[in-house]
Amino acid sequence: MEDRVRPKVAPPVPYDIEIAIVDGAPVVVVDVSPLPGTERPCYVLAQGVVTGAYRRVGDGDRHMSAYEVFMHQANRAQPTDDRVPVKGAGLADLNPQMVDGYLRRLRAEGRAALDDRPTDDEALTRMVVLDDGHPTMAGLLVFGHYPQQWFPQLTVTVAVFPTTDGSEIRGGVRLVDNQTIDGPAPRIIARTVEAIGRNLGRRVLATGMGGQQVWEIPEGALREAITNAVMHRDYSQFSLGTQVRVEVFPDRVEVHSPGGIWGGQSVSDLLRGGSHSRNAVLANLLADAELAVGQETVAENKGTGMRRMVGLMQSAGLPAPEFTDHVTEFVVVLRRVSAPRALGRSRARAGELPFGDVRSNGAAVLDAITTTVHPMRAADVARVTGLSRRQVDRVLTTLIEDGLVEATAPPRSKNRAYRIWLDSDRDGAPLDVYREEQHAKALDN
């Protein structure tokens, strides 16, 4: 009881002790309850919060980093980093077309801030775009000509890996595309989605008597993931040197945003809906700023983004997004149609053969290769499809003979990879028709 009267940690951790009987012998059972998110971290009083806060990793304890401690403490109050004026920046550093479009929208919506017909400068000050003539961080990030003049690392990087684990392929190639996207937030979001789309495959969506080509991951889901990453990331001094990272693999797209979930919330809380913004000013500005002049706004700021992502992915026959909070980083994983799990689900819904059935291997390999714009090695095709290397080699040989796939190097070359022969068909049948024929033949057999 001494630790309850004179606790050795702060805040005190709630727990219950009881005696249980196990195999006829008494056992002391201690049930330790987690602290609310707004009261973390718990630390050893004698060591202080900076050195006395720990994380449990496996069977051991690891000191929390200063950033981890800060992120926990930041949950206790509304951050104000986005409303701080940027010294050295002025009104001339804001894009007048973007500002005019923003103010027009506010007037059209009858916002109270403009009821008394203030000047543009007064209106921008009220909306925290300006503070004493200087753009705020949020104002500069949304409307600035080039915010990276003051915040060089507030960008988004897009890295495209040829393998599912990010390892090098033969020849020392580790990245097949690598971009840094800068500018104001609306431009960053739009250009990042475009960059991801260029590295995704296409699939045909049936529309009546015809079909429409769509990205293998719904564009709306990608836009929500990138918008949330830019809008809700940590903009404190601890993370101004850290970019939002997008990593594209043959089987998934990962979006890494600095800063975990704010306000002591959990992933379940966010999926239930409701708007809880770490960056309140930035979120408000993005809800009224246009992606481009005369276009839709960047964000809704209604707390529905994560649920919309889930709905869009499931409607496309893909697994639901995976959301992981790491305290100092929030990660969203969107599985591509080339992933075995995704293929298995979509085919099951279509009444097709199970993914692993050898009779549908030709279509499975084609699906894997067509969902990337870069040639794939046989080993990567095997990893993505779940087939054996022998099965993949046999199928690739047949597809090459049919004129559907071409190899990038001779058979014994270490750099041999495979890609779709885009200008070819099989007896006049497009690739999608060929796939359906193969599935139908498999069913008949």
The CATH number given to whatever domain includes residue 293 is 3.30.565.60
Residue 52 is assigned to a structural domain of this protein:
yes
What band does 428 get if pLDDT is binned at 50, 70 and 90? very low
How high is the pLDDT of residue 425?
A: 39
Whether residues 177 and 236 share a domain: the answer is yes
Whether residues 211 and 351 share a domain: the answer is no
Whether residues 163 and 210 share a domain: the answer is yes
Whether residues 438 and 357 share a domain: the answer is yes
Q: pLDDT tens digits, residue range 346-387?
A: 333 333 323 333 345 777 787 778 766 578 889 888 887 778
Residue 74 is assigned to a structural domain of this protein:
no
Residue 327 is assigned to a structural domain of this protein:
yes
Whether residues 417 and 433 share a domain: the answer is yes
How high is the pLDDT of residue 5?
A: 64
* Token output for 63: 């000191």
Residue 393 is assigned to a structural domain of this protein:
yes
Whether residues 18 and 164 share a domain: the answer is no
Whether residues 162 and 142 share a domain: the answer is no
Residue 197 is assigned to a structural domain of this protein:
yes
How high is the pLDDT of residue 342?
A: 35
Residue 122 exposed, middle or buried by CB count within 10 Å (0-12, 13-18, 19+): middle
Residue 56 is assigned to a structural domain of this protein:
yes
Q: Which domain holds residue 307?
A: 156-278+285-335
Which of 313-348 are b and which e, b meaning 16 or more Cβ less than 10 Å from the residue's Cβ? beebbbbebebeeebbbbbbbbbbbbbbebbbbbbe
Domain boundary among 116, 149, 182: 149
Domain boundary among 94, 124, 149: 149
Whether residues 371 and 404 share a domain: the answer is yes
Whether residues 57 and 7 share a domain: the answer is yes
Residue 76 is assigned to a structural domain of this protein:
no
Average of per-residue pLDDT across 152-181 = 84
Q: CA-CA distance, 188 to 198, in Å (whole number)?
A: 15
The count of domains in the chain is 4
Whether residues 140 and 249 share a domain: the answer is no
Average of per-residue pLDDT across 28-39 = 84
How many residues are listed for the chain in this entry?
Answer: 445
What band does 316 get if pLDDT is binned at 50, 70 and 90? confident
Whether residues 304 and 195 share a domain: the answer is yes
Residues in Cβ contact with 171 at an 8 Å cutoff, skipping those fewer than 6 apart: 414, 415
To 10 degrees, the CA torsion angle through 111, 115, 121, 127?
Answer: -30
Residue 136 is assigned to a structural domain of this protein:
yes
Domain boundary among 14, 32, 64: 64
CATH number of the domain bearing residue 406: 1.10.10.10
Whether residues 312 and 352 share a domain: the answer is no
Average of per-residue pLDDT across 25-54 = 87
Q: CA-CA distance, 90 to 374, in Å (whole number)?
A: 45
